[in-house]
Each structure stands twice: as C-alpha cells, then as structure tokens.
Amino acid sequence: MVINCPNKEKDFDGNEQMLKEDVTRKSGDNEKKIFSTFSEKHRYGKVRKLLSNRIRILTWIHRYNWQWFVNDFIAGITLGLTIIPESIACALLAGLPARYGLCSAFIGSFIYLVCGSIDTVIMGPTSLVALVSVQFTVGKPIEFAFILTFLSGIVQLIMGCLGMGYIFEFISMPVIKAFSSATAILVMESQIKVLLGIKYLVAGLIESMKTLLNRYHEANYADFVMGLCAIIFLIIFESFEKFSKRSSSNKVVRLLFRYLSFSRNTLIVVITATISYISLLHNCHIPYTLSKNALSGLPNVTLPQFIIETPEKTYTFWRILTELNVGVFVIPIIGILTNISIGKLTPKGLVDTNQELLTVGLCNVAGSCVQSMPTSGAFTRYAISKACGLCTPLANLYSGVIVLLALSYLSPYFNFIPEATLAAILICSIFTLLDFKLPWRLWHDSKRDFIVWLVCFVVCIVSGVEVGLFVSIIINVLHLLYLWARPEIAVKIQEIDDMQYICVTPGNAIYFPAINHLRDKVLKATAQAKQRIPVVIDCHKISGLDFTAAQGFVKLAGGLRHDTAEPDVAHDSSSCQSDNGADGFAGDTLLILYRMQVHLQKLIDNAGNLVFCDSEEKIREFLTQESLRNGFINLKEHIRASIDLGYKIEIE
C-alpha cells in the first residue's frame, strides 16, 4: 500500500529551496569577501609601490647584510674625512666663510640616505656649483647664498612634481663633458690667486685674468710655496692608489696604500694646520694666509631671511630675485646634471631623473634652513665611493655624522688651515674632470658632436658656464629638429623578376617638417630615371604620421601624375587596396606605399595612382601590371600572368 504525504513533500521542497537560497547567499558573501580582499591587496600594492618609488630606502633596506655594512661603513668614514676639507675649500671658492661649507655637508646626506636613487652619490658642496654660485652672489650679503639654495630646491621640487626630468635628455654627453672640462679650468684659474696670496673676488674668467695680471706684484711667495708643496703631496699620495692595485704586493701593504691615497686631502689639511698651530704657539709669524671665521657649534635651524637689511640698503624678496637673476634656474640644472652624470657611470646607467629632482630639491630646501650653500653629488666623491666598494646610500649616514662631529668640536681649529692648502685640494680634485680624449675621438668619428663640444667649451670659458650651458642646449634642440625635418631616406633602384622600381625607405617617423624632404627625394629620383618605373615607399619604419604629412603623400602622388592617353589595362583592386578604386592610372607613375600601418593609411586621402600593399607578392603583381601597360615586357610571354591578374587580352 502506498501512502501519499503531500504536506511532507511541500516541506521537503521548501527546505530544499531555503537551502539553495542559503548556499547562494553564502556564495555571494564569499565572492564579496574575495573581491574586497583583492581590492584591498591591490590598493595596498599601489600604495607600497608609490612609497618605494619615493622613499628609496624601502627598496634595499630589507636586503641589507653584513658585507654591505662593512663596505658602506669604510666608504662612509673615508668619504667623511674627505668631504671636510673639500667642503671648506668649496665655501671659500663660493666666497663664504669655511664654516658654511661644513653646514652644507650633513643635512643633504641624511635626506639622500632615505630618498636617493643612486647608490654612489654622496651629497655635499661641489666646486662646480660653488663656482657658478659665486657668479650670482659676488659682492652681495652672505644671506644671498642661503636664499639661492632655498630657491634652487624649490625649482627642483617643482620640476620633479611636474615630471620635467625628460628635459635633461636634451643635454647630450658632449655637452656635459665640455661643461665639466670648462668648469674645471675656471675653478683652477680661480685658485691661482689663492696660491699666490692675492685677495680679490670678481665674476668671469676675463675679468679675473685682468685683475690677476694687474696685481701679480702683490703675490706672496710663502702662499705659493705652501700651495706647491701641498699639490706635490697630493699627487704623490694619489699615485699610491695605483700601487695598491698591484697583485704582487702584500695585502696589508696594498690596503695601507689604498687608504692613504683616499685620505690624502685630510692628511694634508692635518699636517699644514698642525704646522700653523705649533708656529702660533711659539709666537712665530705665519707668512702665509690662514682661513678665518670658523665659528664652533652647530648651525641654528631656521628659514632663510627673505628680507635682508644692510647698512647701505634693504633687499626685499623681489629685489633678491632680481639680483639672483637666472641663477635661480641655472644652479638647479647644474646640480642635477652632476647627479645624472654620476648615475650614468654606474653599471646599470639608468637614472630616475624626476626622483633625483625631488630628492636634491629636498636636500637644498632643508639645507637652506641650516645655512647651506647649494649641494649635489661630486665626481671626486663618486670615485672614492666606487674604489671603497660602496653598496648603498647608507654611507651618507656615516659621512654626515663625521661632519656633524667636526662642526661640534673641530670648527675652531679650521682657523689654522692655510688657504693655499685648500686651493691645492680643489685644483687636484677638479683636475680629474678635464677630459680631452673625448673631443679627439669626436673629431675623428663625429664632426657634428665635436662642433657641439667645441661651442659649449668656448662659450663656457669666455661667457660663463650658465651661458655656455644655455647655448649648448639650444644647439642640441636645433640638431634634433634638423634630424626630425631631414630624416635619413634611402633611395635606390631594385628589381623583382627583372622588373625595376624605385625603392624609398624613410629612416623613422614622417611628420610635417619632413614630408617635403621626402617628396623632393622621390621626385628627383623619378626625374633621373631613364624610363617611367613605379615608386615603392617602404613604410615599415614609419611609426608616426600627422595630417600634414599624410596630405603630403597625396601631393607626392599628384607630382607623379602625367596627362597621357587612357590606360591600356586595368589594375586589379582586389589584391591591394587602392585609394579610389579607379580602373587605371592614365599614364601616371604608380606610387606604392608598402607595409604602412593600417591606422596610418586612414589619414591619407584617395589618389588615382596611389595604392597600399603589405606583401612582396602584391608588389610583383603591380610591377607586372605596370610593365605590361608601359610595354616594358612582351605581352605574349606574360599572358598567363595577365590572365591571373584579370586582364582581358585580345591576340590578333
């Protein structure tokens, strides 16, 4: 007996429906949770990437190891001892008291440690920046130097935020080398007067040489002897580095010579300052000039004064901007150029220019609050860091700490350092920037780059580095515009199955400045041809095309058109796209655009004797068609080809 229970069946169906709804709801909740988790991870990944792009220490600190620490510590200590005398010398070069050189050598190091993108850059004052800075601050209150530092940092921050790092790609290597060599000569010339003990401060090489020649009788031979002895000492100790690379020597001896070479600047400062100190203790007269105004203690942290009051006049902020003139833009460019050049010398050779602009800008803005002159990396410090095996920017920490200790405890003793010794340090350090091998190579390999180098070098020497840099950038831009307007175009006669055609191959994109150049090349080639043969423009290298250039192709086709009789045969438009689908070309020279990208073809208007092709087989068909029409080949011998092309042929 079978008993039907309809209520139980309904309950079972209801439970089943509720179970399905519950499963669906749970599944939807799980999908929402999964999607929410994925969104959170994606958002976290974007934030982490943004932070690591700006705070570069996050990209390497988690991989830091003991070997890196040892290398960075040794490099940092060595660089710290090197940067102290260099900073003092750069301050004197910029017309500032010695103390302000050290004020420029610590705050930037700490910031670059966190945000810097180039491992081998050690921030601090440089002779290049100091030499250019003095052109804009000479004869003005000392506060101008600190405001120049602040404004330079602001300009660099603005350029970094706007992503304007690509501008520095317009500065070629010959320009950078010419600029560096010219600056090295200017720095060395500026230190000749210090070696001779003559006091004056003027802007420009010509004025400086005039003043030196007029006052050479004021030379102090004691300063000259001290400077000459310092230069000889530095040259001898620099040669120790070559000796340390000899594998035949004892390892301990090699290390000793290596670090003696790296510490040569510090050693000569300690030796000459000690001689001066002992002489003064015995009340002896010092015949040479000593550096002065080296006050002890750390600098006060405060914003630079934007209104400067002197007994003679009061400088408002706008007046200061007028006095600094283009220096507000020149100093940031020169500072960042040094870092970019150092970055290109690294094994990878890649530089995040926008990140460098932001980082160096922060260094200068913060530095202006501790009475710093404009800062950047330096080639001399790069050479030492590379030789010491520096691995990360952490060496900036050790270098900055040593400078702080020197400011706190050693500042009074800087008064005993002879100025001739500091001049010798600058001359020997900057001498490495002289590079006359490159222009010799350019003279043999690239006359155009040699001319750019020569113009930059001469203008920097005669008119100043800021003018030379500006003129060189203009020359580079004009050169690029010339290459854009006159791209390389190869024109030659080629054959397919004994059928000739003019093959034209543009080297790069064709935009409106270059289209007339292309047309002239093609029309000249067709005019020199002994018979009318098709023109094939191989467009596989053309990655860009604007509207004006597209219309230029149409005008080119018009230039190849001739008023003759009606065509004997008709072109097959099914194999290749014709612009107007005409039956023939009425005696015109056929223009074939070969391998042009489809999206570029849309810009070109219809023309009766212009077609597009994307394969060599299609070119062969068009050439055969044109040869038959012009009578260059026997019709009976190519009757099969003509039938394949769809020709209607009548044989008498």
Task: Spell out, as residue ranges, where the chain has pLDDT lower than 50.
Answer: 1-4, 8, 12, 563-586, 645-652
Q: What values do phi and psi take at 493, rounded to 5?
A: -90, 130
- Token pair of 452, please? 């750019």
Q: What DSSP letter does each residue of 211-230 carry, written as one string?
A: HHHHSGGG--HHHHHHHHHH
User: Which amino acid belongs to residue 194?
Assistant: V
DSSP string covering 123-191: -B--HHHHHHHHHHHTTS-THHHHHHHHHHHHHHHHHHHTTGGGGGGGS-HHHHHHHHHHHHHHHHHHH
For strand 535-538 and strand 499-506, is the pairing parallel, antiparallel, or unpaired?
parallel
Cβ(241)–Cβ(258) below 8 Å: yes
Predicted local distance difference test score (pLDDT) of residue 15: 56
- CB within 8 A of 145, min separation 6: which ones? 94, 95, 96, 100, 133, 137, 373
Name the DSSP class of 605: P
- Candidates 259, 202, 273, 214; CA nearest to 81 is 259
Closest CA relative to residue 475, chosen from 454, 495, 496: 454
Nearest to 353 by CA among 132, 171, 110: 171
Query: How far is it between the farthest Cα atoms of the chain?
Result: 139
Structure tokens at 415: 């008064």
Local structure of residue 580 (DSSP, 8 states): S
Burial of 57 (0-12, 13-18, 19+ CB in 10 A): middle
**Is the Cβ–Cβ distance between 157 and 361 less than 8 Å?**
yes
Q: Are 289 and 191 in contact (CB under 8 A)?
A: no
Q: Any bridge partners for residue 1, and if so which?
A: none
Nearest CA-CA partner of 118 in 384, 329, 334, 396: 396
3-state secondary structure of 13: helix
Q: With 0-12 CB in 10 A as exposed, 13-18 as middle and 19+ as buried, what is 379?
A: buried
Give the strand pairing for 591-594 and 535-538: parallel
Q: What is the CA 42 to chain-centroid distance, rounded?
A: 32
- Rounded to two decimals, the pTM is 0.74
Write down the H helix ranges in 369-434.
379-387, 395-405, 419-430
Structure tokens at 53: 């792009």
**Cβ neighbours around 510 below 10 Å, total:** 28
Coil, strand or helix: which one is 42? helix
Residues 287, 222 contacting (CB under 8 angstroms): yes
Which structure tokens are listed for 391? 């691995």
Instruction: Report the C-alpha gap between 395 and 400 in whole angstroms.
Output: 9
pLDDT at residue 570 in the model: 37
Q: 538 forms bridges with which residues in the sheet?
A: 594
Q: Which amino acid is at 327?
A: G
The confidence score (pLDDT) of residue 361 equals 94
CA dihedral 59, 64, 69, 71 (to 10 degrees): -70
What is the phi/psi pair of residue 581, to 5°? 65, 25
First to last CA, the chain: 103
- Asked: is 489-561+588-645 a CATH 3.30.750.24 domain? The reply is yes
**What tokens does 312 get?**
């003679």
Report the pLDDT value the prediction gives residue 120, as an integer from 0 to 100: 85
- Residue ranges covered by each domain of the chain: 64-291+312-480, 489-561+588-645
